[in-house]
Structure 1
């Protein structure tokens, strides 16, 4: 007679494993919030549902194409928040519409992004972060934010990581100092967050052979470029009315018209000088340890006779403050082309990465966004800097990727 088989009992059921994972995330969240609160940050929980137009206009192409957007029964276009920086800024303005005070906020909540072509990446994820709004001591605030981010990750158990740093403000200084049509300045600034598209655009600006705005609307743009602004606006209004075009992606008909007229204006501008394009490419090729980068940039500016010394002085002062606050400069690499993927950044940017995790290796990041609050309705520009931590990725990194 055969003996009775005992059922195989797993050491932990999927339900128990999920419970353990959630408990670990809660423990981690508590450690991160302790760091933020100890530094004077007030915990907030901004609404998950947000007006879509704000994110469509300010987040950048990478986020814009991955948002969950829908129209509510009242006809308003809304979205699930794809990040928490903009909701935090909107909450600040709801409390202080004139942006007169300094504030420190922290959060730990869910964000939502579509992940095209990769079903293994979560569409709903947790994001912890801190935002410092209104501090006029910009370099000091920058240094304290990155030090705070690192301290929070250390407290959660992360010890092995690398730091990548960039400075969008330095790039803006460069573009402002180089000879070019104003249309090209605006366009190049808009594309720095998309390196591949930026270099393609730079090549086309040098040629400016009519291919700058390719696609079905090329004929319309060419026709508009031959008219003055008043005539072009009237003609475009007639075209949009005849086509009965409705607002798209949160943009009004007036905003669509303004964008098309700006593109038509670009078609009339002179080509970008080749020497100017070469200087831009030479600048963007600069990378390495921050201290060496400062020397290379000063030599670059002196050779090209560019007045960007003020930005470099601020860059160097920020580095000194980071060292004072305990940031491991020896783990840091500067890349002139690095701008992160949010279009609202205006200055210092950074990321903490764990290369062993591959596509999930970006653990934390942040930067300065001095124009965002004005774009959201503040009567003036407001200095602001912040950071975010992808907590599930942080937990994965702490456990060695398992």
Structure 2
């Protein structure tokens, strides 16, 4: 007995309905990217291993899918390496390529490799799958799409303003009212750490602070104490826990808290420009909110940090994020290439739209009409009509087999095709078509022009 086929854990099949819904999101995001002047690029599914390895830390390196060299890949491995049983040493001998882990590092490689062909500032978008050898669980897959947009070669804060507007434009088009775009700045976090005397524990400090909404003020303080942050530092930090009010109120409080930190004040000034400008320009469906506990990708970001939350009525993690980085291409030798970018969480956005019932019914439409097959002569008559209908943009098809009408009607019903068209001897003789509404059961005999008019509605 043959084994039942399966797919690898952490991967998915998508049925026609799911693909249609995902394409709806893709197309909405692509249209917004193009509207804002971003140009599409694509990079290979796999890169040279040395392009990817060492760019994501030890944990990231562990999650990169390695590709075995072709041919007898074990021939180059010395006997002593086998006896050492050191997988890292062996891997470098038997694998020279790897599946991409994200779109950011390949983008950095692309910019460096094509720097003489690129016009800077370079606005690019990329929508492609990535792979991670992670432990599969709900909402976490080994193969998934990333939807990124970046601008490199400019330090202007107008780019951050445009990204806030871009998020808002996409969510407005998707009907996602009530999304929240949270904003922070790496310089503010560095300034806070400097002010409380915890510069050497910046990462530990921000990792703990980032958990404020999950474990509360006392939980955060407890974790900071465990990381060696002093009581005096925690006392100075107290105003941060009660930071509330409008954006201007919060920024005023931050200016007072960070008055002795040049870096911190610079971060406040940058955030003030972004929030004031957005307040002047306005947003359609989203709101911009300061969140000084936001610290995603702290080792990576150098300026603004973004994270997008779904509407409050949906229990969901972030559906987007990004920020400013000052040295994206430095890992490949091209220094001082500042950039800023954002990403959309496709899978989570899909789940949010599904839960809120925001997918338009029209995206699920396939064929508008199914021509019933009564035999060779009748099928030819039907195909002539189908060819004309397709030329004017009407999706129509012929059932391929001259089988029982009940089976053909059942097919139309299961496919949610709204109309069935009968072209028997009577219709051919009269040069007409019998149109059946699959929902109401109502039938009418029409000329081709009348049929076309009905189906084009």
The two structures have a TM-score, normalised by structure 1, of: 0.66
> 2:15 maps to what in 1?
18
CA deviation after TM superposition for structure 1 residue 382, in Å = 1.8
> 2:412 maps to what in 1?
none
On the 8 A contact 2:100/2:106 being kept in 1, the answer is yes
> 2:25 maps to what in 1?
28
- Summarize deviations over 1:132-184 as a string: whole Å, max 9, x none: 111231x211111121122123223322322222211211234456656xxx5
Gaps of 5+ in 1: 1-15, 207-271
Gaps of 5+ in 2: 1-12, 70-92, 212-218, 358-457
- Summarize deviations over 1:288-337 as a string: whole Å, max 9, x none: 643321122123234xx444333322221111122244336983332212
Residue pairs, 1:46-61, within 5 angstroms: 46-51=43-48, 57-59=54-56
> 2:355 maps to what in 1?
400
CA deviation after TM superposition for structure 1 residue 91, in Å = 1.0
> 2:295 maps to what in 1?
339
Equivalent position to 1:367, from 319, 323, 326: 323
* Higher relative contact order (CA closer than 8 Å, sequence separation 6+): 1
> 2:60 maps to what in 1?
64
Equivalent position to 2:140, from 121, 124, 134: 121
For the residue of structure 1 that corresponds to 2:258, the secondary structure is helix
On the 8 A contact 2:329/2:337 being kept in 1, the answer is yes
Residue pairs, 1:2-401, within 5 angstroms: 18-51=15-48, 57-59=54-56, 64=60, 67-70=63-66, 72-73=68-69, 75-76=94-95, 78-96=97-115, 101-116=120-135, 118-119=137-138, 121-137=140-156, 139-176=157-194, 179=197, 185=200, 187-189=201-203, 192=206, 195=210, 202-203=224-225, 206=228, 274-276=231-233, 278-280=235-237, 282-283=239-240, 286=243, 289-302=246-259, 305-307=260-262, 308-327=264-283, 331-341=287-297, 343-354=299-310, 355-358=312-315, 360-378=316-334, 380-400=335-355
- How many angstroms apart in 2 are the aligned matches of 1:294 and 1:363? 26
CA deviation after TM superposition for structure 1 residue 205, in Å = 5.7
CA deviation after TM superposition for structure 1 residue 56, in Å = 5.7
The two structures have a TM-score, normalised by structure 2, of: 0.59
Higher helix proportion (structure 1 or 2)? 1
**Change over 3 Å in CA distance of 1:191–1:84 after alignment to 2:** farther
**Change over 3 Å in CA distance of 1:373–1:122 after alignment to 2:** same
- How many angstroms apart in 1 are the aligned matches of 2:122 and 2:146? 20
**Change over 3 Å in CA distance of 1:178–1:91 after alignment to 2:** same
**Change over 3 Å in CA distance of 1:80–1:327 after alignment to 2:** farther
**Change over 3 Å in CA distance of 1:328–1:157 after alignment to 2:** closer
On the 8 A contact 2:152/2:338 being kept in 1, the answer is yes
For the residue of structure 2 that corresponds to 1:349, the secondary structure is strand
- Summarize deviations over 1:105-147 as a string: whole Å, max 9, x none: 011111223553625633222221211111231x211111121
Instruction: Tell me which structure has the larger Cα radius of gyration.
Output: 2
Question: C-alpha root-mean-square deviation of aligned residues, in Å?
Answer: 3.7
CA deviation after TM superposition for structure 1 residue 274, in Å = 4.7
On the 8 A contact 2:22/2:350 being kept in 1, the answer is yes
